Each structure stands twice: as C-alpha cells, then as structure tokens.
Amino acid sequence: MPCVVGEPPTEYRVTAPAEPDGLVHLHELIDRARRDWPDVSGADFDMLETAVIELCGNVARHGRPAGATDVTLSVSVRDSALEATLIDAGRPLEIDVDSAELPPDMDEVGRGIAMARLAVDELDYEHDNGHNIWHVLRRRR
Amino acid sequence: VDSSGLGALIGGLKTARQADGDLRIAAPTEQVATVLGLTNLDRVLRPFATVEDAVRGW
C-alpha cells in the first residue's frame, strides 16, 4: 500500500487576547506555517510576521480598553504570496497607513505602522461592522 | 525584533553615547538585519558579522 503524504494546510487561524502575552500565539501560528512550508522563503515569513506583530502590538498598546478584546489572525499560503488578515473588535483606529513614515533615526517610538508597511507589499486597514480589519500581503520572492 | 525592540536599542544607544560609549550590533539574525535595513537604522546601529568585528577599533 503506498504511503500517501498529505499536503500541508494552506490556511491557518488563531484567536488570542490582544495584549503583549497574546503575541506568542501569533508567533506560534506563523512558525507552524513556516515549518509546514519549507520551500517558502524564510525571509517572506519573517516579513509577514514582522508586519503582523507590529499591527497586533499596536492593538495591544493602543486598543481600548487594553487587553479587553481578542485578535484573530488568519494566514494563507498561496503560490505567489503569503497573506494575513488580522481582525479585532477594538475601537476604530484613526490611522492613515499610506502616510505612515519612519521617524528620525534617534526617535524611540513611532515606527510600528511604517515598519509594517515596509515589510510587506500590501497593507490595508478598514473598520467594518465594529471590527478593525488589516489585510497584509507579502509576495513570495 | 519589533518596533518596541528597536526603540529600546535606540534608547540604549543614546545612553551609551551620552557616556562617551557606543552600542553595536553583532551577529544579527536575518530578520534583525532586514528590519535594521528597512528602517534605515543600520545607519546608526551598524550590524557586524561577529563580536570581534564589532569591538575592533573600539
């Protein structure tokens, strides 16, 4: 009888508290996808993870009330790209992703959104039906 | 490393420079090196391949 090896999943999802300790669950999810897909560049996963953690960190730091909402991360592994969607039920964010710029080099804060934008190819934010929704896409190199 | 970590490194660099010292990055992982480049912080926190390289000429 032939040994059939299943294809790894292409969709991953986890829900975790939107607080610093919850970030570990998002790291674990992306690590699992990284292990399942060894042919995908580690750098692509690194940059998707960098963006996702910045966005979730932003929710954890600035969401109100802090830690009172969950964040759901979905990751899709496509032939051409890695995609992530991050959803939380926090208050709407007053943010203009496209105008987020890096602060002066010696500033200690204010890099998060600009860094997320630089790490990936597409980054979009919307507030819909009481939820903050981030779409992240990193084209595979 | 995330933006909070970068902020902590910049804070450490400022403290070190105020004391006539320096803060240098040795043997960064690929993610750290990429993030330093993305944020242009490799201009002020120049990464070195090894600790020996980082402390050379200190």
In this structure, are strands B25-26 and B47-48 parallel, antiparallel, or unpaired?
Answer: parallel
Partner A contacted by B15 (CB < 8 A): no
Q: Token pair for residue A59?
A: 């929710």
Lowest mean pLDDT segment, chosen from A95-99, A108-112, B37-41: A95-99
Lowest mean pLDDT segment, chosen from A11-15, A82-86, A88-92, A114-118: A88-92
Longest CA–CA separation in chain B, Å = 30
Strand order in the sheet with A131-139: A11-17, A70-77, A81-88, A131-139, A122-128
Judged against a pLDDT cut of 70, whether residue A110 lies above it is answered with: yes
For B54, the 3-state DSSP assignment is helix
Q: Do A111 and B6 touch (CB under 8 A)?
A: yes
Q: Token pair for residue B39?
A: 């944020």
Q: Do A119 and B38 touch (CB under 8 A)?
A: yes
Q: Token pair for residue B19?
A: 């004391």
Q: What is the pLDDT of residue A7?
A: 85
Task: Return the residue of B nearest to A110 by Cα.
Answer: B3
- Can you tell me the mean pLDDT for A29-33? 97
- What gap in Å lies between CA B26 and CA B40, rounded to an integer? 17
For the segment B21-58, what is each residue's pLDDT rounded down to a tens digit?
999 999 999 999 999 999 999 999 989 999 999 998 77
Q: Token pair for residue A74?
A: 């979905």
- Can you tell me the mean pLDDT for B8-19? 96
Q: What is the pLDDT of residue A22?
A: 85
For the segment A50-77, what is each residue's pLDDT rounded down to a tens digit?
999 999 887 777 666 655 788 999 999 9
Judged against a pLDDT cut of 70, whether residue A1 lies above it is answered with: no
Q: Token pair for residue A65?
A: 């009330």
Q: Do A118 and B38 touch (CB under 8 A)?
A: yes
For the segment A118-137, what is each residue's pLDDT rounded down to a tens digit?
999 999 999 999 999 999 99
Q: What is the pLDDT of residue B16?
A: 95
How distant is the Cα of B3 from the closest Cα of chain A, in angstroms?
5
- What gap in Å lies between CA A69 and CA A67, rounded to an integer? 6
Closest alpha carbon to B4 in A116, A44, A99: A116
Distance from chain centroid for Cα A75: 8
Phi-psi region of B16 (alpha: psi -120 to 50; beta: other; left: phi over 0): alpha
